[in-house]
Amino acid sequence: MGTSSDQMEGKLTFRKYREGDHEWPSFAQQIFEADHSYKCPTYVHRTPPCQGSCPSGEDIRGWLDIVRGIEKPPEGVSMAEYAFRRSTDANPFPSMMGRVCPAPCEDGCNRNNVEDFVGINAVEQWIGDTASEQGFSFDNSMPLSGKRVAIVGGGPAGLSGAYHLRRLGHASVIFDDHADLGGMFRYGIPGYRTPRAFLDREIQRILDMGGIELRLNTRVGRDVPVKSLEDEFDAILWAIGCKSGRPLPVPGADAPNCVSGVEFLEAFNTGALQVGVDKVVCVGGGDTSIDVVSVARRLGKIDKINPKDRPEAVIGGYVAHDAAYAAAREGAEVTLTALFERPAMTATEHEVDDALREGVTILNGVMPVEVLLNDNGRARALKMAKCTLEDGRPVPVDGSEFELEADLIVAAIGQGGDLRGLEEFDNGRGLIDTDKLYQVAERPGHFAAGDIIRPHLLTTAIGQASVASTTVDRYLRGVDQLRQRPKVDVHHFNLLEKLKEAELAPTAFEPATVTPDLRGTDSGNWAIHNYEDRSAQEIIPSDRLYLAHFQYTARIKRESHGPDAERVLGHFEERVRCLSEEQAIAEANRCMSCGMCIECDNCVIFCPQDAVFRVKKDQSTTGRYVDTDYSRCIGCHICADVCPSGYIDMALGDH
């Protein structure tokens, strides 16, 4: 859980000792008794909780260590480009995700137990924006296999699928029913959160890899039958997202001026919706509802609007507003209602803060009861009631009903798939069922990823498409599918690959040159000795770290210049500014490198036997900065006690 703001003014929040511990241990006694422990330090690589919390599975610690200078890039590659390569191994959208991802990685960050999480999103945005500005490209050296995959949907999941399949050597054709690619990035999130210039560059970078064809303005199931895809392609990846919003489950919700959040945002993002109405009520509590109310405040309203130009007509696709309407905008009254109290709202906290600053009224702990209609059958108000939650379901409090006047009611309470023409794939809930490897049940050659499986985060859709791509690859190559993926299924640091990159790879193993019992790995150049990789099985918790090593260091926050309630009308500029390179490096330096050597020298300095030593500079690389002389080690475990990142375990056997 994150540390509260009043505790971040200089007070460290970690506790080195558990409740009840009151005696200071005697290091001297431990040292002199430790010679019969028969244990020496082992360097154990584990996954940090930021990576374990990332649905895309990014090697977050890895690219933070690159930005801060701990992991050095190969010759001829800049720090920024090397960090970009590491980041995009998992997720090809660093600019976008650095802006709009709700950052479960930051919630899981062990630095929360010191003072405040590392600004992972902020550094990722810097990596992505720098990549766009400097024209970094993706590697497309993998030869094409001759296989072709149909990808239905050009949003985050579909584009991620095309990217990862191309890296595996497979061509693809993306079908999308819009004029432009981007899906939720473009049509579901306002442009001041996903600036179109950066979005377009990140999409074009994927297309520039080659082997990716586009068929836009084409809806599979209407313009193209599924059978023709099965005949033309070797596999099909369904990534159609969830574009149907759920209506309010109350009487009167079918009124013409009751619309869904996804419809409202798409109408705005296509430019059709230029103004709103006087009173907008949005029911929600998640990120989509925050986008709705923030856009509604920016659009404002005009006093006298032709009935045929009412927002519901635009959202329904019957008309589009003339841009001249924008000149006559006035402020609108916008209210967001949520079942949960603010701490339990699923919307990102800083987005809620922005909405409040922009003049949105937020009512918590309330539920809709009925849409009240006027004589023309249009909604005039939303009847609400205070509520309690019983077994996860809202229950109205008797006698607490009240009315909210409304000219437009927007439901942002969830989304479903639009499977018209694809009913054969519908699981009865408007979604597509898959197994854990994202294969569609009883449909060989069909795979799915993203919201059409289960509506969730953008980063979840991107990560699912990455995993689905490896499943598709095995299918295309005729290889049996993995029975089980790793317990910690993310991108991991690989010491052997790092040694190869640094031209320090182990030499060939020659059994005739070693003793019959294969002793001598500590001096043999043919083994990666004194090292264990548990990253696919274990996430390192904060109690394995030596938190006392880390001083209070305030998080470097991106500068915000979002509007207040007086200036929000017509304000469509981006809210935050990217960190400078110096700021990105400084913020990356706050990373505790959990589960990987931080190169701090604590183990070398505090070892009483001089058994732990730095590897020679020309033999050193990430994960191999220190080593142990077994002939000197007495098993005192001080090195493990003072290791800030929890990289050292007392585990290696007899000596």
pLDDT tens-digit profile of 83-123? 999 999 999 999 999 999 999 999 999 999 999 999 999 99
Q: What's at 429, amino acid-wise?
A: R
Closest by CA to 475, choosing from 238, 241, 236, 239, is: 236
Instruction: Tell me what pLDDT residue 569 has.
Output: 93
In a domain, 383, yes or no: yes
> Which of 476, 505, 522 is where one domain is finished?
476
* 652 band by pLDDT with thresholds 50, 70 and 90: low
**End-to-end CA separation in angstroms for the chain:** 43
Inter-residue contact 255 to 379 (CB < 8 Å): yes
Please check whether residues 469 and 403 belong to one and the same domain: no
Please check whether residues 223 and 254 belong to one and the same domain: no
Please check whether residues 501 and 603 belong to one and the same domain: yes
In a domain, 72, yes or no: yes
We report the CATH number of the domain holding residue 400 as 3.50.50.60
What is the extent of the structural domain holding 397? 247-414
* 11 band by pLDDT with thresholds 50, 70 and 90: low
* 42 band by pLDDT with thresholds 50, 70 and 90: very high
What six digits make up the tokens of 469? 């791509």
* pTM for this predicted structure: 0.91
Instruction: Tell me what pLDDT residue 32 has.
Output: 46
Please check whether residues 343 and 200 belong to one and the same domain: no
In a domain, 140, yes or no: no
Instruction: Tell me what pLDDT residue 654 has.
Output: 46
495 pLDDT higher than 50: yes
Integer angstrom CA distances of residue 643 from 65, 395, 546, 600, 608: 17, 51, 6, 8, 15
In a domain, 173, yes or no: yes
Strand partners, 621: 624
2 pLDDT higher than 50: no
Instruction: Tell me what pLDDT residue 601 has.
Output: 96
Instruction: Tell me what pLDDT residue 307 has.
Output: 85
Inter-residue contact 461 to 450 (CB < 8 Å): yes
Inter-residue contact 46 to 539 (CB < 8 Å): yes
Cα–Cα distance measured from residue 552 to residue 555, given in angstroms and rounded to the nearest whole number: 10
In a domain, 619, yes or no: yes
Closest by CA to 182, choosing from 163, 205, 157, 150, is: 157
In a domain, 85, yes or no: yes
In a domain, 601, yes or no: yes
Q: How much is the CA Rg of the chain, to the nearest whole Å?
A: 28
Cα–Cα distance measured from residue 199 to residue 210, given in angstroms and rounded to the nearest whole number: 18
In a domain, 481, yes or no: no
* 16 band by pLDDT with thresholds 50, 70 and 90: low
Please check whether residues 424 and 532 belong to one and the same domain: no
Please check whether residues 408 and 516 belong to one and the same domain: no
Inter-residue contact 299 to 274 (CB < 8 Å): yes
The three-class DSSP label of residue 215 is strand
Please check whether residues 343 and 428 belong to one and the same domain: no
Instruction: Tell me what pLDDT residue 655 has.
Output: 39
Instruction: Tell me what pLDDT residue 25 has.
Output: 61
Taking only the tens place, the pLDDT of each residue in 268-311 is 999 999 999 999 999 999 999 999 999 999 999 988 788 888 88
Please check whether residues 303 and 193 belong to one and the same domain: no
* 35 band by pLDDT with thresholds 50, 70 and 90: very low
Please check whether residues 204 and 272 belong to one and the same domain: no
> Which of 414, 441, 463 is where one domain is finished?
414
The domain total for the chain is: 3
- What average pLDDT is seen over the chain? 91
How far, rounded to the nearest angstrom, does the alpha carbon of residue 410 sit from its chain's CA centroid?
27
Please check whether residues 238 and 309 belong to one and the same domain: no
Instruction: Tell me what pLDDT residue 306 has.
Output: 82
Q: Across residues 516-534, what is the average pLDDT?
A: 76
Q: Across residues 245-249, what is the average pLDDT?
A: 94
Please check whether residues 119 and 169 belong to one and the same domain: no
Strand partners, 387: 396
Q: Across residues 219-235, what is the average pLDDT?
A: 97
Instruction: Look at 421 and 329; give whichever has higher pLDDT.
Output: 421
What six digits make up the tokens of 69? 């200078």
Q: What's at 158, amino acid-wise?
A: G
28 pLDDT higher than 60: no
466 pLDDT higher than 60: yes
> Which of 414, 429, 446 is where one domain is finished?
414
29 pLDDT higher than 60: no
Please check whether residues 218 and 294 belong to one and the same domain: no
Taking only the tens place, the pLDDT of each residue in 199-214 is 999 999 999 999 999 9
